[in-house]
Homo-oligomer: A and B are copies of this chain.
């Protein structure tokens, strides 16, 4: 029977891949006119996909005229001469350098779960699907549908509906001790969208600084908006302010409460230095800090650290956060809080933009927050994550690998670092783990986008802060230091992980043999 190997479908959905392969075979004559396609059920079983996938591919192909559907008989290949083929029906261009783009995607935590090799993925923090409060959400949805029909059909203000902004302002005051007015809040469909709004607000001509190692997707977004980016190295307290000063940056994008991937929580003294840097700007060259507080809700121990915005007196901090991380990836709602001094400029420059989030979702989320469901959800998730983390730390500690690892940053959020007491490179550990189906990267991996390494501001020779010489990886380490994202792991995966890592890394210098 006709068959296809789904292993090279890359980012396509199962259905798209199947659709494309069949179409290709029709166009190239591999499937001949009048040929009967396999029955949906048999084909699905053979390919190991669902009947729906086959059905969707078939009906799309029928809609486009590649197959003919004959009632009570099945699908047949249509007569399509090559001369008849419209331009758009030509075999599409494919990603030739797929490995390159895959590699690029890693640092941003973008790997799809369907990735073939990785059985246990420590490179991104998946959110468990069974934790989403579906019943409450559905109830609120019905309520909003029932009571807000008029408002649902009205255009939302550009910065989002007042109810949601007000609920967020209230939440920020109670849980972050951040006192802002709803007018300062701008709702958008994801932080990536808000980053690009901010570039339009602050200027394409500005120089933007970010942390290295860091969340490389942020860098990609800035670069794709054609602005200048500087990667600023960090020491153990976070971004090096002296290097920031030398970089000529106007705006710094930073996650002081829990930096990814180093896990550093910037101490108050360094925060003060950062704010001082900001105040060195002048009227003509104002400086701004974009405080990306992406997972501050999930600090697992200790007191929450006051946000930069809450201690800033100069009106230079823009605060960003997202519900996609804290509630569910099914919700694409993020927000930023602008300092009051930027409000007029925001209204003039960007006030005409339509809000990118549907009213409907905004009303539901507003009620979700207002009635305390958000707080409950966060508490529940925090407990869940804490259990996952404790189970994983415990499993690592008890394993034969335990004595060769030291763990850091396990309290600050949803990932931690393990320094491996071994005489090998992070790349070696990554590669060996990958062979056992584990996706894990070292700090160095998050340092810069390929081809952009020269973008990093480097330390001056003899700089007192550079304690480790060329071997350091941004946390001042010369030993390999690996990043562990654990939220998406099942208990079974956690229990299996230490043995798998041991199998993967066995025999490397300094590590035990099996």
Residues of chain A at the chain B interface (Cβ within 8 Å): 11-13, 15-16, 19-20, 23, 56, 60, 63-64, 86-90, 92-97, 101, 104-105, 108, 110, 112-113, 127, 129, 132, 134, 138, 141-142, 145, 149-150, 152-155, 157, 161-163, 166, 169-170, 173-174, 178-184, 189-190, 192-193, 196, 200, 203-205, 217, 220-221, 224-226, 312-313, 315, 328-332, 339-341, 343-344, 347-361
A341 to B205, CA, bound (A): 30
Residues of B within 8 A of A13 (CB): 157, 161-162
CB <8 Å contact, A189 and B87: no
A358 — nearest CB in chain B belongs to which residue? Answer: B332
CB <8 Å contact, B329 and A153: yes
A190 to B332, CA, bound (A): 14
Residues of B within 8 A of A87 (CB): 312-313, 315, 340
Nearest 8 CB-CB pairs, A to B?
Answer: A13-B162, A189-B356, A129-B153, A204-B226, A189-B189, A152-B330, A63-B170, A332-B358
A415 to B209, CA, bound (A): 47
Which of these, B163, B331, B341, contacts A56 with CB under 8 Å? B163
Known: A13-B162, A132-B153, A224-B349. 19 other contacts (CB 8 A): A13-B161, A15-B162, A20-B183, A63-B173, A64-B173, A86-B179, A87-B313, A87-B340, A95-B348, A112-B157, A129-B153, A132-B149, A134-B145, A189-B332, A192-B353, A192-B354, A329-B359, A330-B360, A332-B358
Residues of B within 8 A of A355 (CB): 332
CB <8 Å contact, B340 and A92: yes
- Given the contacts A113-B154, A193-B356, A56 and B88 also touching, CB distance less than 8 Å: no
Chain B nearest CB: distance from A426 CB in Å?
23
A189 to B340, CA, bound (A): 27
Residues of B within 8 A of A95 (CB): 344, 347-348
Residues of B within 8 A of A86 (CB): 179
Task: Determine how many copies of this chain the complex contains.
Answer: 2
A17 — nearest CB in chain B belongs to which residue? Answer: B162
Residues of B within 8 A of A225 (CB): 200, 204
CB <8 Å contact, A182 and B60: yes
Which of these, B155, B181, B192, contacts A92 with CB under 8 Å? B181
Which of these, B105, B183, B193, B200, contacts A16 with CB under 8 Å? B183
Chain B nearest CB: distance from A440 CB in Å?
20
Residues of B within 8 A of A92 (CB): 181, 183-184, 340, 343
A98 — nearest CB in chain B belongs to which residue? Answer: B347
CB <8 Å contact, A329 and B204: no
A494 to B348, CA, bound (A): 34
CB <8 Å contact, B192 and A154: no
Residues of B within 8 A of A313 (CB): 87
Residues of B within 8 A of A200 (CB): 224-226
CB <8 Å contact, B344 and A330: no
Which of these, B16, B339, B348, B358, contacts A331 with CB under 8 Å? B358
Show 11 A/B contacts (Cβ-Cβ < 8 Å), sorted by A: A12-B162, A60-B170, A60-B182, A92-B184, A108-B352, A112-B157, A129-B149, A132-B153, A189-B332, A204-B225, A332-B355
Chain B nearest CB: distance from A395 CB in Å?
26
A224 to B101, CA, bound (A): 30
A138 — nearest CB in chain B belongs to which residue? Answer: B145
CB <8 Å contact, B112 and A134: no
A351 — nearest CB in chain B belongs to which residue? Answer: B101
CB <8 Å contact, B153 and A330: yes
A86 to B177, CA, bound (A): 11
CB <8 Å contact, B174 and A357: no
CB <8 Å contact, A224 and B350: yes
